[in-house]
Amino acid sequence: MIRAGLLVAAVLGAAASIGCAQTATSTVASELTAKQHQLNIDSFEYVFAAIRDKHWQAKPAGLDWQAVHDELRPAIEKASTMEAARAILNDMLGRLHETHFAIIPSDLYSDLEGSSAKGEITTGMDVRVAGSDVLVTSVEAGSAAAREGVQTGWQILKISSTDLAPVVAKLNETYATSTLRELVMSRAILARLDGKPGESVTVEFLDGASQRVTKSLTEGKPRGELSQFGYLYPMHIWFDSSRVGNGDIGYVKFNMFLDPAHVMNLFGEAVESCKTCQGFIIDLRGNPGGIGAMAMGMAGWFIDQPDQRLGTLYMRDTTLKFVVNPRAYTFAGPLAILVDGASASTSEILAGGLKDLGRARVFGTRTAAAALPSVFEMLPNGDGFQYAIANYISEGGKPLEGLGVTPDVEAPITRDALLAGKDPALDAAIKWITNQRH
């Protein structure tokens, strides 16, 4: 299985988000069979060759990669347990000191992979994990969740027979220091909510009055238009446009940077219809990325100077400069971009690039720091293997990978705010834009 490119999180769903976990859950240590032992050796050779041939540097991280192989090959031959074999593979990847290189134990891989690799949210809810609480952050109108009266701010306690507290604790421990924590957590929970059309999933909530309520949610058709790009899963892509504040601030939100013909047209129409607006807001929260070129096109609606760049992507044999394409008409008013820990890849390139150029003010929480094009494959021994094939440097001269985009204004979600119908990041952006006229 190969899924790659600036589509990283959108394509991989839960599994793609595992980029910088160098340690993860382990199974009970047990002796390997001869076949398992050989599969671990085969996996070692596969990892070595993939980085040797596909890393953006001929000498990965300046290392003599063949020497690293020769040093660790005897150790993998002696490894008598899966835990020992994984430790050796992680040791090899750790020499790179780079994110988006990881060995994912097969049990965690299968737990996270789920059907949400297709990016579907068919119950009509979106979620985030705040601390140890799984919170409903949005409910789609007309969805199963809306019909059952689910409200933003409700806490999800159990999905089917699975108590979420141990799941969250496990992921919190694994990703305690990772910028990918929020992206991994939300995708892992959404994977458990996903199902086939017509199926029902039982969800136990803690409602706004802190009472336990159980709802049976029937899986429905996802919103948006079905779109397919290359060899990727077909995905439903949606785009929302409205006015916020006093009705004179443009607002757009879309779930992925895919279906460019449709999404770019709608984006352009939204900006052009807002020529006299006081400001404009692009909401990239929860947007895991997609086609990188779309960021260049969108940025062109807000920058009227030529030869401006959002950053540069470096691959083994190619350098791609994210040059902004100015439009005949550009919006010159205040521009706010909303992000959170589930904003990744192309979302980070657009938000970080426009921030570096001094064209946008960013609100929310730090992004996932997952901007690198990466590949996710299954190794011969059944474990997952993720590795990056390019490096991205923002126009400000910093890598987004491992750092992410830090908002100008921190505005995290809370259960109290959601229950009160408030949106801290959006409210802060509206306030900033409103104050610009004074």
What angle do helix axes 65-78 and 34-54 make, rounded to 10 degrees?
170
CA angle 42, 46, 48 (to 5 degrees): 115
Contact 10, 233 (CB under 8 A): no
- Per the rule left: phi > 0, alpha: psi between -120 and 50, beta: everything else, 23 is beta
One DSSP character per residue, 371-395 reads -S-EEEEE-TTS-EEEEE-EEEEET
Report how far residue 348's alpha carbon sits from residue 339's, in angstroms, rounded to the nearest whole number.
8
Residue 94's alpha-carbon distances to 90, 91, 161, 387, in angstroms, are 6, 5, 37, 12
Q: Are 140 and 222 in contact (CB under 8 A)?
A: no
Q: Could you write out the DSSP letters of every residue in 290-336?
A: B-THHHHHHHTTT--SSS-EEEEEEESS-EEEEE----SS---S-EE
Per-residue pLDDT tens for 125-174? 999 999 899 999 999 999 999 999 999 999 999 999 999 999 999 888 87
Rg of the chain in Å (alpha carbons)? 22
pLDDT tens-digit map of 372-426 = 777 778 899 999 888 888 888 877 777 777 788 999 999 999 999 999 999 999 9
Identity of the amino acid at 161: S
CA 17 to chain centre: 6
Tokens representing 59? 């000498």
Partner residues linked to 282 by β-bridges: 252, 337
85-129 confidence digits (pLDDT tens): 999 999 999 999 886 788 888 765 554 444 344 445 578 999 999
Q: 244: which DSSP letter?
A: E
Dist. CA 236–CA 252, nearest whole Å: 17
What's the whole-model pTM score?
Answer: 0.81
**CA atoms within a 13 Å half-sphere pointing along the CA-CB vector of 4:** 13
The answer to whether the CB of 18 falls within 8 A of the CB of 384 is yes
Bridging pattern class, strands 200-206 and 155-159: antiparallel
For residue 323, pLDDT over 50 is answered with yes
Per-residue pLDDT tens digits for 215-226: 999 988 888 888
The percent of residues in the chain predicted with pLDDT above 70, rounded, is: 88
Question: What is the spatial distance between Cα 185 and Cα 207, in angstroms, rounded to a whole number?
Answer: 21
- Enter the CATH code of domain 225-374+382-435: 3.90.226.10
Q: Which of 143, 134, 141, 112 is nearest to 204 (CA)?
A: 134
Mean pLDDT, range 51-69, rounded to an integer:
95
What distances in angstroms separate CA 355 from CA 101, 273, 351, one per listed residue? 27, 24, 6
For the chain, the domains span 21-98, 115-218, 225-374+382-435
**How many CB atoms sit inside 10 A of residue 107's CB?**
14
Architecture of domain 115-218: Roll (2.30)
